[in-house]
């Protein structure tokens, strides 16, 4: 439309530049568009296609359509249900935990005081450290005779074998993941806090509001859009839990830490069953989409009721 | 008499004032104590990692019960570091990681900024549709596509069943060059640059590409820094993808290398040495460019 509108509105000269503009625009857009088509759009389509075949990663035999066989196998597998449950538990606990702790940290280092930057930097250090390194380090800390249990022993508590006990393994991974990621969301909260005008706090203080009332009536409502963003990003990354599990527990003990992505990698890469892994990926995809829709719906609803 | 009546009034005013000041001071001390305590929570595990990398295993375990666990004391040496270089081609791993992440960053800046420029500056048919398709892909986490993508990259580029594209540098880089989020960050930033600037350049006879190269990009330092940081970190730390696509040791990046290293080494000191060597460069860059890092993360939070 715009390419046709232009000549009517403007001179012949700008019509020429506009037509030339279109070809330049297409040329500049092509590398990104091509790469996205090949490495993003095609894999999305493939996820849907491969999930209904018995494709293998490397196979001399051509793949066949098997309709819903992969899904029947999937939904009949205990390991899959455990993995789904673990992923959901992980998300349900870590979303409030990590966003809450991050908000606490943000409030603690908000504003100007001696060493603002120092504290923010230190809290942020684990974020810049790779999850692979963090997982290695915490494996040591979590050992039966590791740092955490030695410290617990000082106050008379006999710590469990954190990663070896099915009752504590997922919990241990949750704590470590929070430790690693919380600095990131602290920064996002901070940038949200800085959008709240100082006059609002002054007005509240004049009205005699105490710290808690100021938080409830000024800070919390002012963080609405930040809250939505943080909720969505933590939820999606929580569903993608893989690295920690692969390095620390390999899904064990007794599937206690197995996750959706871990199962997808185990079946699709180690066992080379691409079709089955694609079915898992498709379930994961639908799950992420649902969570996104629900969160969008909830936040939109609040916007209306305001 | 007058002094006697005046005094209670004065104290009545003074007492709440001083107690409020005192409680404020107590509160601010408490807050400061919490901040310092949290520094320990977030910093000490990393200190422990670095300090332990200089100690033999026996001493690492021996020091656990005391503050020595966080201090470089006792039998300090570089043995663990030498051990790492002895057991694996560590320099090659680092070189691979640098190659992959630097190329991903540079190509990513080029490709995404060009596309963002076309979408933000040049009017053409279908612009809005393209932009909304790109934004829609933001909610798809990479992990959902990893396995189908693995199969796909194995078919590329010949589609004849031969082991194609796996086990190369390219397969570690090319799929991550075009990035919807980087593109969006550039798009947002370009939109904030006044259009009068490119109109002036056009009057002077500059073409669109010239405007992109000589007007817009030189003004986009902050956006370039943000995209560089937000591309570099995941590329350097990338684990799942190289774990699947790289089999050859000479192409293996450092993050996957440490996983293999852990499986062959029983010495915690050496693992800590390896972990320190792949962490300290990034931490050093972070501390040096701390402001840009923090701003980048903060700006990534603006997208909501």
**Within the 128-167 window of chain A, which residues sit less than 8 Å (CB to CB) from chain B?**
128-133, 136-138, 140-141, 145-147, 150, 154
Whole-number average pLDDT of chain B? 85
What pLDDT sits at residue B128?
Answer: 86
Assign B9 a pLDDT band (cuts: 50, 70, 90).
very low
**Within the 49-68 window of chain A, which residues sit less than 8 Å (CB to CB) from chain B?**
50, 55, 57-58, 60
What pLDDT sits at residue B163?
Answer: 60
Q: Which two tokens stand for residue A44?
A: 């999305």
Residues A46 and A178 grouped into a single domain: no
Instruction: Please report, in tens digits, the pLDDT of each residue of chain A (306 residues total).
Output: 444 444 444 444 444 455 666 788 888 999 999 999 999 999 999 999 898 988 888 777 777 888 888 898 889 888 999 999 999 999 999 999 999 999 999 999 987 778 888 899 999 999 999 999 999 999 999 988 888 998 888 888 888 889 988 899 999 999 999 999 999 999 999 988 888 888 888 898 888 888 888 888 889 888 888 888 888 888 888 999 999 999 999 887 888 899 999 999 999 898 888 899 999 999 999 988 888 888 778 776 554 444
What pLDDT sits at residue B11?
Answer: 43
pLDDT (average), residues B146-151: 91
Q: Taking CB atoms and an 8 Å limit, are A40 and B297 in contact across chains?
A: no
Residues A80 and A13 grouped into a single domain: no
Domain residue limits, chain B? 2-76, 88-264
Chain A CB contacts of B111 under 8 Å are 31-32, 35
Residues A138 and A272 grouped into a single domain: yes
In a domain, A74, yes or no: yes
CB A139 within 8 A of CB A248: yes
Q: Taking CB atoms and an 8 Å limit, are A119 and B39 in contact across chains?
A: yes
Chain A CB contacts of B279 under 8 Å are 129-130, 133
**Within the 260-289 window of chain B, which residues sit less than 8 Å (CB to CB) from chain A?**
262, 268, 271-272, 275, 278-279, 282-283, 286-287
What pLDDT sits at residue A11?
Answer: 42
Nearest to B39 among A122, A136, A239 (CB): A122
In a domain, A58, yes or no: no
pLDDT (average), residues B206-223: 90
Residues A44 and A82 grouped into a single domain: no
Q: Which domain holds residue A79?
A: 69-305
Residues A221 and A277 grouped into a single domain: yes
In a domain, A62, yes or no: no
Q: For the segment B84-111, what is each residue's pLDDT rounded down to a tens digit?
A: 998 889 999 999 999 999 999 999 999 9
Residues A12 and A149 grouped into a single domain: no
In a domain, A61, yes or no: no
CA distance to A36, B181, B198, B213, B288, per residue, from B219 (Å): 26, 20, 12, 10, 23
Residues A32 and A139 grouped into a single domain: no
**Within the 7-26 window of chain A, which residues sit less than 8 Å (CB to CB) from chain B?**
17-18, 20-22, 24-26
CB A130 within 8 A of CB B255: yes
Q: How many helical (H) and strand (E) elements, i.e. helices and strands, does chain B have?
A: 15, 0
Q: Centre a 10 Å sphere on the Cβ of residue B284 and count the other Cβ atoms it contains.
A: 11
Residues A91 and A39 grouped into a single domain: no
Interface test mutation site (partner B, options A36, A126, A278, max chain B beta carbons within 10 A): A36
CATH at A171: 1.10.3720.10
Q: Taking CB atoms and an 8 Å limit, are B283 and A128 in contact across chains?
A: yes
Is A203 at the interface with chain B, CB within 8 A?
Answer: no
Residues A222 and A301 grouped into a single domain: yes
Q: Is the pLDDT of residue B26 over 90?
A: no
- ipTM of this complex prediction, to 2 decimal places: 0.85
What pLDDT sits at residue B5?
Answer: 40
Is A92 at the interface with chain B, CB within 8 A?
Answer: no
What pLDDT sits at residue A237?
Answer: 87
What is the greatest pairwise CA distance in chain A? 86
Rounded to the nearest angstrom, the minimum Cα separation between A267 and chain B is: 9
The DSSP line for chain A is -HHHHHHHHS-HHHHHHHHHHHHHHHHHHHHHHHHHIIIIIHHHHHHHHHTTB---SS-SSPP-B-TTHHHHHHHT-HHHHHHHHHHHHHHHHHHHHHHHHHHHHHHHH-S--TTHHHHHHHHHHHHHS-HHHHHHHHHHHHSTTSHHHHHHHHTT-----TTTSTTTHHHHHHHHHHHHHHHHHHHHHHHHHTTS-HHHHHHHHHTT--HHHHIIIIIHHHTHHHHHHHHHHHHHHHHT--HHHHHHTTT-STTTT--HHHHHHIIIIIS--HHHHHHHHHHHHHHHHHHHHHHHHHHHHHHHH-
Is A290 at the interface with chain B, CB within 8 A?
Answer: no
Q: Taking CB atoms and an 8 Å limit, are B150 and A268 in contact across chains?
A: yes
Burial class, A63, CB count within 10 angstroms (exposed 0-12 / middle 13-18 / buried 19+) = middle
φ, ψ dihedrals at A278, nearest 5°? -65, -35
Residues A44 and A73 grouped into a single domain: no
How many domains, chain A? Answer: 2
The superfamily (CATH) of domain B88-264 is MetI-like (1.10.3720.10)
Q: List the one residue out of A190, A179, A289 whose CA is nearest residue A232.
A: A289
Residues A96 and A207 grouped into a single domain: yes
Residues A38 and A153 grouped into a single domain: no
Is A276 at the interface with chain B, CB within 8 A?
Answer: no
Assign B285 a pLDDT band (cuts: 50, 70, 90).
confident
Rounded to the nearest angstrom, the minimum Cα separation between A132 and chain B is: 7
CA atoms within 13 A on the CB side of B22: 6
Assign B161 a pLDDT band (cuts: 50, 70, 90).
low
Q: Taking CB atoms and an 8 Å limit, are A25 and B124 in contact across chains?
A: yes
Q: Which two tokens stand for residue A92?
A: 């349900």
Q: For the segment A118-135, what is each residue's pLDDT rounded down to a tens digit?
A: 899 999 999 999 999 999
């Amino acid at each position: 439309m715009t390419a046709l509108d232009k000549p009517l509105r403007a001179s012949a000269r700008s019509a020429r530049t506009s037509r030339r503009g279109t070809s330049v625009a297409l040329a500049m857009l092509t590398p990104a568009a091509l790469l996205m088509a090949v490495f993003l759009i095609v894999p999305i389509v493939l996820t849907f296609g491969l999930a209904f075949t018995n494709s293998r990663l490397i196979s001399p035999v051509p793949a066949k359509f098997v309709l819903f066989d992969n899904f029947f196998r999937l939904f009949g597998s205990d390991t899959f249900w455990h993995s789904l449950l673990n992923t959901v538990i992980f998300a349900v606990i870590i979303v409030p935990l990590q966003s809450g702790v991050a908000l606490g940290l943000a409030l603690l280092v908000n504003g100007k005081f001696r060493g603002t930057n120092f504290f923010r930097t230190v809290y942020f250090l684990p974020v810049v450290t790779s999850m692979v390194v963090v997982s290695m380090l915490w494996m040591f800390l979590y050992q039966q005779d590791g740092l955490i249990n030695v410290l617990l022993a000082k106050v008379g508590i006999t710590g469990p074998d954190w990663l070896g006990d099915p009752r504590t393994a997922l919990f241990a991974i949750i704590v470590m993941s929070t430790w690693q990621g919380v600095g990131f969301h602290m920064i996002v909260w901070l940038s949200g806090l800085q959008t709240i005008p100082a006059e609002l706090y002054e007005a509240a203080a004049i009205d005699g509001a105490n710290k808690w009332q100021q938080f409830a009536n000024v800070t919390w409502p002012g963080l609405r859009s930040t809250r939505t963003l943080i909720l969505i990003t933590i939820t999606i990354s929580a569903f993608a839990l893989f690295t920690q599990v692969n390095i620390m527990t390999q899904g064990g003990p007794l599937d206690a830490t197995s996750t959706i992505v871990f199962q997808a990698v185990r079946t699709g890469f180690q066992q080379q069953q691409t079709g089955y892994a694609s079915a898992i990926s498709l379930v994961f995809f639908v799950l992420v989409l649902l969570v996104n829709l629900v969160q969008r719906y909830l936040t939109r609803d609040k916007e209306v009721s305001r | 008499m007058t002094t006697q009546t005046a005094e209670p009034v004065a104290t009545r005013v003074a007492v709440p004032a001083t107690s409020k000041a005192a409680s404020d001071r107590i509160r601010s001390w408490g807050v400061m104590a919490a901040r310092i305590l949290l520094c320990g929570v977030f910093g000490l595990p990393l200190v422990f990692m670095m300090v332990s990398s200089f100690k033999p295993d026996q001493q690492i375990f021996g020091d656990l019960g005391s503050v020595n666990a966080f201090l470089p004391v006792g039998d300090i040496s570089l043995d663990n570091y030498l051990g790492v270089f002895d057991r694996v081609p560590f320099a090659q791993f680092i070189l691979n990681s640098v190659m992959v992440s630097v190329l991903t960053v540079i190509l990513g800046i080029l490709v995404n900024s060009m596309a963002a420029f076309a979408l933000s500056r040049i009017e053409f048919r279908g612009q809005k549709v393209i932009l909304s398709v790109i934004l829609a892909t933001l909610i798809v986490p990479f992990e959902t596509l990893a396995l189908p993508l693995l199969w796909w990259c194995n078919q590329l580029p010949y589609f004849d069943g031969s082991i194609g594209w796996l086990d190369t540098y390219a397969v570690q880089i090319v799929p991550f060059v075009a990035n919807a989020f980087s593109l969006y960050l550039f798009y947002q930033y370009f939109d904030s640059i006044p259009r009068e600037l490119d109109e002036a350049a056009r009057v002077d006879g500059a073409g669109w590409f010239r405007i992109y190269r000589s007007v817009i990009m030189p003004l986009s330092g902050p956006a370039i820094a943000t995209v560089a940081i937000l591309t570099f970190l995941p590329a350097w730390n990338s684990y799942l993808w190289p774990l699947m696509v790289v089999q050859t040791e000479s192409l293996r990046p450092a993050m996957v290398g440490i996983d293999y290293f852990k499986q062959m080494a029983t010495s915690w000191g050496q693992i800590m040495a390896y972990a320190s060597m792949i962490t300290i460069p990034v931490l050093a860059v972070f501390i040096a460019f701390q402001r840009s890092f923090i701003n980048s993360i903060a700006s990534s939070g603006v997208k909501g």
